Amino acid sequence: MDVKDAEVEADLSRREGCDAALERLAELAPDGLDGLVACAGLGPATRPVSLITRVNFFGAQRLVDGARRLVANKKGAVVVISSNSAPMDCDQSYIDALLALDEERACSIAEEIGDGHNAYAGSKQAITRWMRREAAAYAAEGIRMNAIAPGITRTAMTDSVYADAELGPAIKEFGETVPVGRLGQPDDIASAACFLLSDEASFACGSVFFIDGGHDAMLRPDEF
C-alpha cells in the first residue's frame, strides 16, 4: 500500500483515502491479515506542516484501527513505525489534540507552531502513546501491537531533509553522532518489523523497540 505505484494506492492524509484503502484491503484479504505495518510517514521538511500531522498520526491511527477486524481474524500482529524523536518535549496542547483524535485542532496547532520538528516528533510521540493505550484491548482480540522507533535511517525521506537548506546541516551533524558509527538502513528496520510480526515475538506486546544505533541510550541513558 502506498500513495502511488502500489497494489493498493492510498492517500492516507485524507479520511476518504483511508476509507478507500481499507475497503480495497478487505477485498484483497477477505479472510484477514496475518500482519500490518503502519509505515507511511512524512519528515520535518514537509510543507504544509499540518500534512505531517495528517499522515503520521491520523493516517496511521485510522489504518490500524480500520484494519483491526481483519488482523483479529488471523490473530495477527501490528507494527507501528514510531521514531527515536518521539520522546522529545513537544507542545502539550498538540499532543492532547492528537490523542483526543481532534484532527482539525491538531493541524491548526501544528500550523501555528510552524515547526516541522515539533510536528514530526509530536506525531510520533502521539502514535506511540496511542499504541500503548490500545495494546491491551487489541491483545484481548488476539492482536499483538508494538512499535519500532528508528533512528536516523537512509531513506528517501531522510534525503529530503538532507536537501533542505535549513534542516540539512543539523541532520547531517546529528547523523555523525550515531554510536555504532553509521546511519541505519531500511533493512535494519525491516528485519525488526519481521521479527515483531513473527511467532518468535509471541510475548512482545505494547513494546517500543529502539532501532537507532544506540542514539536513544546515549541521549537518555537513565530513561527506558
Which residues are catalytically annotated? 120
Residues 155-170 as b or e (16 or more Cβ within 10 Å = b): bebbebbeebeebeee
Residue found under cell 490523542: 99
How far is it, in rounded angstroms, from Cα 99 to Cα 39?
Answer: 19
208-211, strands of its sheet edge to edge: 35-38, 77-81, 144-150, 208-211
CB neighbours (10 Å) of residue 119?
30
What pairs with residue 78 in β-bridges? 36, 145
